[in-house]
Amino acid sequence: MNIPVGIEVVDSTLFSSVDPVVLAGSMCEACGAHVFPAMDSCPTCSSLDVTKVSLPTEGTVWSWTTQHFAPKPPFRTDEFAPFSIGYVDLGPVIVEGWLVGKTEWTIGEQVSLVLAKAWTHEGAPVFTFGFEAVT
Amino acid sequence: MSVNANDIFIVGAARTEFGRFDGEDNELAETAVRGALADCGLVWSDIEFAVGGTNGETKPDNLVSRLGLTGLPFVTVKNGCATGAVALMTARNGLIAEDLNVACVVGYDNHARGAFNVSPARYGLGDWYGATGMMVTTSYFALKIARYLHEHGISQRTLGYASAKAFDYAQEHPYAWRRKPVSVDEAMDADMINDPLTRFMFCAPDAGAVSLVLARGSKAYDLCETPIRLASVALRGRRPGSFEVFSPWLSPGDRTSPSIDAAKAAFDLAGMTPADVQVAQLQDTDSGAEVIHLGETGLLAHGEQEAAYRNGEFEIDGRLPLNTDGGLLANGEPVGASGLRQVHEIVRQLQGRADGKQVPGAPRIGFTHVYGAPGISACTVLISEGAQ
């Protein structure tokens, strides 16, 4: 995968592309189940015949919460502020991730995938994936 | 009354007070075991088979160094929140398989303050999952109940009813940890932890121990005036479509749950239905979990929870007295002990000697349900056959 110079991500195996941002999952050739992050076996039917796939980048909020206290380590942050986490229905799979840009959400709301700054490491930002509201 | 020699009965039960404990884990466990033995007039050397469960670092099978080196087989189990129920199931199976008469079960833990801190690697997840703040149990409970309330048109205030009920029961229970009453408004207005769940809607890890003595039907009435029959115990794991803690993804489509499967199996094995239950214990790690588990176990139709709380159906004189010792919300969760606490409370209720509020009308049929990571549930049906 091509990661642009100067962009560091929390785990490169989560992405099939960083610019534009696309998540990498896997699809079972036997039963069609999609999972994220990619696995080398299928937890639904136990098949080993799985293929890495790019996941859709737009979906709807399936559930959400806002985290009002700082999680214990290994959580990393520059400075804690309440943040939202949600499950986003991407169609073939529902993915858990940050919901960025606000802390009040509505189930069913349209969102799209973005890169979001997670923390600073040696002066440089480290990014994870998140979803922001489609305006 | 005829007793089937192959039926398994609970003849002795004891628990410690739950809360903070400064001593050794094994002291807690020993206190519970000696209490359960005293409850049925036995001594440790009478026990032929033992099972101990803890989620901590101590070795339950080493309790023999305090209780007596009798040479008995002592099995250790560790299944997260289902540990107590699995210990009970293992003891039952041991009595039947080994053709023994008397077994002892003990579950205990003594956890550090604050939410559990779990390593992503233990769940097969990458470091990124913890580093980005998703390895958090409270957010999981919040995400699960938020979706459930949405799907079934249940108000957030229902979560306040569940909390207020728990603390109302606990204020009269001598072994509960949090015995101060909390009103529905106080529960709703408390600090938000994870929307929609406030501080009074979560249980906390703490310390405690519970022990039971089990006996075959041929011995049960010699040891106890009103032994309680373990009519069934069933353990189930997750299937595709379940919504479990620490899940970076969920499958779309119909939701399944190990609680649905374990409850159905337990009722089927006992020849009972949810409508037969007269007193129940459900896993209420948070208020939302109790609301969800009412539906998943079949005790109530999905969506009927709000009206049932409002109508007082889960109160001591209601249709289905629920978590009558205050549940996890008021007792906290010493993981290894929690499932056995449920059984202890039901046994006491069916024997008519509840430690706290007693269900009126001599209930005969009880039900317990535990649920936890990584997607397992265990249920029991407990029946009083009365005194012989």
Q: What is the pLDDT of residues B314-350, one digit of tens each?
A: 999 999 999 999 999 999 999 999 999 999 999 999 9
B180 and B71 within one domain: no
- Residue A95 belongs to some domain of the structure: yes
Euclidean distance between the first and final Cα of chain B, in Å?
7
**Nearest residue on chain B to A68, alpha-carbon basis:** B193
Best mutation site among B116, B122, B132, B143 for testing chain A: the one with the most A CBs within 10 Å? Answer: B132
| Tens of pLDDT, residues A62-121 | 999 999 999 988 899 999 999 999 999 999 999 999 999 999 999 999 999 999 999 999
The two tokens of residue B83 are 């540990």
ipTM above 0.90, yes or no: yes
B104 and B250 within one domain: no
- Residue A98 belongs to some domain of the structure: yes
Where b means 16+ CB within 10 Å and e means fewer, B97-123 reads eeebbbbbbbbbbbbeeeebebebeeb
- Residue B105 belongs to some domain of the structure: yes
Amino acid at B256: T
Domain that holds residue B100: 8-113+207-227
- Residue A3 belongs to some domain of the structure: no
* Predicted model pTM: 0.96
**Residue A8, CB half-sphere, CA atoms under 13 Å: how many?**
11
Nearest 5°: CA angle at B370, between B178 and B247? 100
Chain B CB contacts of A100 below 8 Å? none
Give the domain CATH number at B361.
3.40.47.10
- Residue B129 belongs to some domain of the structure: no
| Tens of pLDDT, residues B266-289 | 999 999 999 999 999 999 999 999
- Residue B163 belongs to some domain of the structure: yes
- Residue A2 belongs to some domain of the structure: no
| 8 Å CB contact of A63 and B252 | no
B99 and B85 within one domain: yes
Where b means 16+ CB within 10 Å and e means fewer, B198-231 reads bbbbbbbbbbbbbbbbbbbbebbbebbebbbbbb
Which DSSP string corresponds to B126-160?
A: -HHHHHTT---HHHHHHHHHHHHHHHHT--THHHH
The shortest CB-CB distance from B133 to any of A13, A36, A83 is to: A83
Indicate the number of domains in chain A.
1
- Residue A1 belongs to some domain of the structure: no
Indicate the number of domains in chain B.
2
Minimal CA–CA distance to B203: which of B225, B177, B229, B181?
Answer: B177
Minimal CA–CA distance to A4: which of B139, B355, B78, A12?
Answer: A12
B293 and B156 within one domain: yes
- Residue B99 belongs to some domain of the structure: yes
- Residue B197 belongs to some domain of the structure: yes
Chain A CB contacts of B248 below 8 Å? 36-37, 95-96
Strand pairing category for B8-15 and A110-121: unpaired
Amino acid at B91: A
Per-residue pLDDT for B387 more than 90?
no
| 8 Å CB contact of A64 and B247 | no
Domain that holds residue A106: 8-133
Q: CB distance from B153 to chain A under 8 Å?
A: no
- Residue B128 belongs to some domain of the structure: no
Tell me the average pLDDT of chain B. Answer: 95
- Which residues, including other chains, have CB under 8 Å from residue B364's CB and lie 6 or more apart? B278, B350, B383, B384, B386
